[in-house]
Amino acid sequence: MADQAPIDVLLVEDDPGDVLMTREAFEENKVANRLAVVSDGAEAMEYLRQEGRYADAPTPDLVLLDLNLPRMDGREVLAAMKTDEKLRSIPVVVLTTSEAEEDVLRSYSLHANAYVTKPVDFSRFIEVVRQIDDFFVSVVRLPRH
């Protein structure tokens, strides 16, 4: 996979431990994707809309989105993204601790591209993030923004 071009990934996650594990999973992977991290939904929308301090931020090729976030939760971020003409084509993987069927259904009804429950086991978490990364880098053709 080393011949694949790196992609820009935005991680929207408020748990520092999960941010650290996600960074580690990306670092262990063969492709050096660029990972930007924001810790709440309002900040995610500023980043995605390239507002304020994010004026020069790249448009992400993929968003990894937690549902339970401060200021603006992941469901609101997903709804805002999918109703925004400039953002709706960005694939969103909901990566959350919630196993609630209502969260799964609501995420897909809001046009999430995938719903993944975070494993609590560290090594399994790393593997899941690597599989998401591999899938979106090596298997899927992403729109270029």
Angle at 36 (CA atoms; ends 94, 59), nearest 5 degrees = 80
Average pLDDT, the chain: 89
pLDDT tens track for 107-125: 999 999 999 998 888 889 8
64 CB contacts (<8 Å, ≥6 apart)?
Answer: 9, 10, 11, 12, 13, 22, 93, 95, 129, 132
Enter the pTM of the model.
0.90
Q: Tens digit of pLDDT for each residue in 33-73?
A: 789 999 999 999 999 999 999 999 999 999 999 999 999 99
| Residue entry with tokens 């939904």 | 41
In the chain, the domains with their CATH numbers are 8-137 (3.40.50.2300)
Residue 111 is encoded by which pair of tokens?
A: 């046009």
What pLDDT score does 3 carry?
Answer: 52
- Is residue 2's pLDDT more than 60? no
Helix 74-82 to helix 101-109 angle, to the nearest 10 degrees? 20
**Over the range 106-128, which residues count as b (16 or more CB within 10 Å of their CB) and which as e?**
bbeebebeebeebeeeeeebbeb
Q: What percent of the chain has pLDDT over 90?
A: 61
Q: Distances from the Cα of 66 to the Cαs of 14, 32, 55, in angstroms?
A: 8, 22, 23
